[in-house]
Structure 1
Amino acid sequence: MSLRADFDSIVGFDSAWTDNPKAPGAICVIRVGVDGPHLHLAPRLASFAEALKVIENERKDARKCLVALDQPTIVPNLTGSRPVDKVAGSLISWIGGGVQPASRAKIGMFDDAAPIWTFKQALGAAEDPELARAASSGVFLLEVFPALALAAIERVFCSRLAAPKYNPANLKRFKLSDWQAVVEAAMRFGLSNSLRHMEEWCSVLASHETPRKADQDRLDALICGLIGLHWLVAPRDQSVMIGDLQTGYMISPAIGGIHERLIAAAKLRGVPLS
């Protein structure tokens, strides 16, 4: 019988929310061993099924496997949006971005037949962020939100209407300088958590003069992985959990403390913030 490898695995998965073969999501893998974290699998495009294969390979060997997913994972509300969406939206709208409301009315995304539920069932992960930090083994799922994380890791992005316009599919708003700034911010965030084998990949991505939507998906997958890494290895007070496991939640870095707009919005709506 083979011995379990001496590392933890963090999978960053930008699912793209629907299982459209023409517009798949993207995935990456960060491993954390005795010599620290390194980018084991550089971001690549992946459907839900392909992501499950990657995760299955990781969970076979890793002591602990954490999947950081850029998609709402708990959506009990039939219409409207979740409390956590409203809290996150208070900051995201102020910086000039948007939060897509999650409800079961979103056909193809959160209705009973949506791929996210099949994915979660096949994954069989525990959805308990605090346990994910403390446990020495197991498979865990976290909901993360790259746009919220960017506002926390890069001060330039966190001011009125300063959200980076880095989606190449939105030609009217896209700015190459913002694209480069996001890649550089992600690289610095990774380095702040001692992540190795990432700089070359980020440098190549930043050099693209005409990035495609698929490039953004891969970049967001890396950001998902970095949020998961930060949640596991950084001091707990440098991250925040907004919401709860009943109505929905998000995990985000909070390196400089929890933003006052999030605190005010959470207090107004009675949403847990820790």
Structure 2
Amino acid sequence: MKFIGIDLGWKSQPSGLCCLEWSDNQLHILDIDRKESIADILTWIDSYVLPGESAIIAVDAPTIIPNTTGSRLPDKLTHKHFGKYHAGCYPANLSLPFAERTVNFGLELETRGFVHAPTIEPQKPGRYQIEVFPHPAIVHLFGLERILKYKKGRLNERRLELSKLQNYILDILPTLKPPLAFDRTSPHPPITPSPHLFILLEIPTAGAALKAAEDKLDSLICAYVGAHWWYWGEQRNLVLGDRTTGYIVIPQRM
């Protein structure tokens, strides 16, 4: 079973991509990368998940938007449940410029057999897609009192917050279920050698490079949330919304 995390660029900016694989009762990193066009993202997915192969694709973007104006139900629920952590999400509606791109991405995944999974039978193989949101996931997975503010602010402050995220990932995700392995001798190398493997990632100091690192770490969180959803289902995850309203899957607080 594979788990693809997509920190989708809502407009035309690059997207962070991560692929994890479940093997030997652990999650192993196959690759972390970044692509710009939707066509390149889909080609990357196809290179890791062959036709008929089981996988969950966890996307940080509104791939179901039924409303023409205002906010979706799951958007409102993030503010209700996670506003105190500063983790409410942006409103999504069909009138906004990004809507066509994000909705069409979900439809492209459906043509590849990845069905929306706001409910799931834990650890059942299949081809699924879900919407996720890294900020509340990070708060719950790592037991934080507020989000890590690595997206806005002074460059040195963002870098410090992103370094905290990397440390939480390295220190805590291997201790959870499902555990994420960080071994340099993994028997599951990427399809092609890549300098973007998480264990080799250093938090840069330049602005553009920092944004690239942010996208990659977000994509890893997305992939892990997909694995957590598959492993536990509703036993240890929250689902805000449903297939009709749009939905967001968030791990319960550890």
CA–CA separation in structure 1 for the residues paired with 2:179 and 2:31: 16
Partner of 1:150: 138
How far is 1:123 from its partner? 1.8
In structure 1, which of residues 114, 124, 129 is the aligned counterpart of residue 118 of structure 2? Answer: 129
| Aligned position for 2:9 | 16
Aligned partner letter, 2:132 = V
Aligned residue pairs total: 236
Q: 1:238 maps to which residue?
A: 236
Question: 1: CA distance between counterparts of 2:150 and 2:246?
Answer: 27
For 2:180, the equivalent position in structure 1 comes to: 195
Tell me which of 165, 170, 183 is aligned to 2:149: 165
77-86 or 123-132, which moves further after superposition? 123-132
Query: Which segments of 5 or more consecutive residues in structure 2 lack a partner in the other structure?
Result: 185-195
Q: What is the alpha-carbon distance in structure 2 between the residues aligned to residue 78 and residue 144 of structure 1?
A: 21
CA drift at 1:147: 0.7
Q: CA deviation at 1:32?
A: 1.1
State the 1:201 CA deviation: 4.9
The AA in structure 2 aligned to 1:37 is L
The amino acid of 1:85's aligned partner reads D
Counterpart among 105, 115, 129 of residue 141 in structure 1: 129
Query: Is the contact made by 1:126 and 1:140 (CA closer than 8 Å) also made in structure 2?
Result: yes
Q: Is the 8 A contact 2:123 2:232 kept in 1?
A: no
Q: Distance in 2 between matches of 1:52 and 1:202?
A: 21
RMSD across aligned C-alpha pairs, in angstroms?
2.6
**Post-superposition offset of 1:74:** 1.3
One-letter amino acid of the counterpart of residue 165, structure 1:
K
Whole-Å separation in 1 of the counterparts to 2:48 and 2:200:
26
Give the counterpart of 2:21 among 13, 26, 31.
31
- Taking a change above 3 Å as real, the CA distance of residues 133 and 62 of structure 1, as seen in their structure-2 partners, is farther
When normalised by structure 1's length, the TM-score is 0.76
SS of the residue corresponding to residue 50 of structure 2 reads helix
Deviation at 1:46, TM superposition (A): 4.3
Give the distance between the partners of 2:48 and 2:95, measured in 1 at CA.
34
For 1:157-198, what per-residue CA distance to the aligned partner results, in whole angstroms no more than 9, with x for missing partners? x2xxx322112x643794433221111223344312322247
Instruction: Give ranges in structure 1 of 5+ residues lacking alignment.
Output: 1-7, 257-274
> Displaced runs of 4+ in structure 1, greater than 6 A?
none
- TM-score, L = length of structure 2: 0.81
Q: 1:178 aligns with which of 142, 158, 161?
A: 161
Aligned to 1:120: 106
CA distance in 1, matches of 2:183, 2:230: 18
Verify the 8 A CA contact 2:143 2:253 in the aligned structure 1: no
Change (3 A) 1:198 1:75: farther
CA deviation vs aligned residue, 1:93-129 (integer Å, no higher than 9, x gap): 322344210011112x11xxx1223322322221023
State the identity as a percent.
24
Report the secondary structure of 1:101's partner residue.
Answer: coil
What is the Cα deviation at residue 48 of structure 1?
A: 1.9
Distance 1:66 1:53 in 2: 16
- Kept in 2, the 8 Å contact 1:30–1:41? The answer is yes
